[in-house]
Amino acid sequence: MTVREPSPQRNTEEPTEGAQRFKIEHYLKKHMSGFYLAFGLTVIGMLLYHLSQKAVPKEANPFFVITIAYTVGILFCFAFAFTYPGKKSLIETFKASNWAVFTLGAAAALIELGFLLAYRTGWRISIAAVATNAAAAIVLIPVGLFVYKDHLSLRNVIGLILCVVGLALLVRQ
C-alpha cells in the first residue's frame, strides 16, 4: 500500500472554525434548501388545496370547478415557468413529453374530482387527506418493490404496518 504524500501546494492544516462553518453552510444551502423549499411549498399547497376543496359550493358543477381551478393553475405555472432555470422551451418540452406527462394530468384531475366529491359526501377535512395518502402509500408498496426495486428496512416495514393500522382506525366510524 502506498501512502500519498501531500503536494507542496496543498494546505494540510486543519480548516479554521470559520472555514469549517462555511463548508457546512455551503453544504446545507446547496443540498437542504431545495428540500425545505419543496417541502414548504407542498405543505402550503396542500393546506390551501384542502381548505379550498372543502369550501367549494355544493351546487357548482364539479367538472367546471376543476376546469376553472386548472385554468388558474395553468396561468400560475406559465407565469413562473419563465423564472425557473429550465433548459427547454414550452414547445421543446411538449415535444419531449412522454406518456407520463399526460397521465399526470389525468391523475391530477382524478385526485381533484375525488376530493371534491369526498368533501361533498361529508368526509371530514381532518381525515380525508391522511386516509387517502395512507391508502395510496399502501398501494404503492408493491409498485416500489417490484417495479422500482426499492428496498425496505425493518424500520420501514414497522412504519408501513403502523400506516395500515392508522388507516383502519381513521376510516372506521
Closest to 141 measured CA to CA, from 157, 126, 128, 127: 157
How many residues are given for the chain?
173
pLDDT of res. 83: 84
Q: 128 near 115, Cβ under 8 Å?
A: yes
Alpha carbon distance 92, 97 (integer Å): 9
For residue 112, the tally of other CB atoms under 10 A from its CB is 20
Mean pLDDT per 10-residue run, the chain (173 residues)?
A: 50 59 62 77 92 94 95 93 83 93 95 94 90 88 92 91 86 75
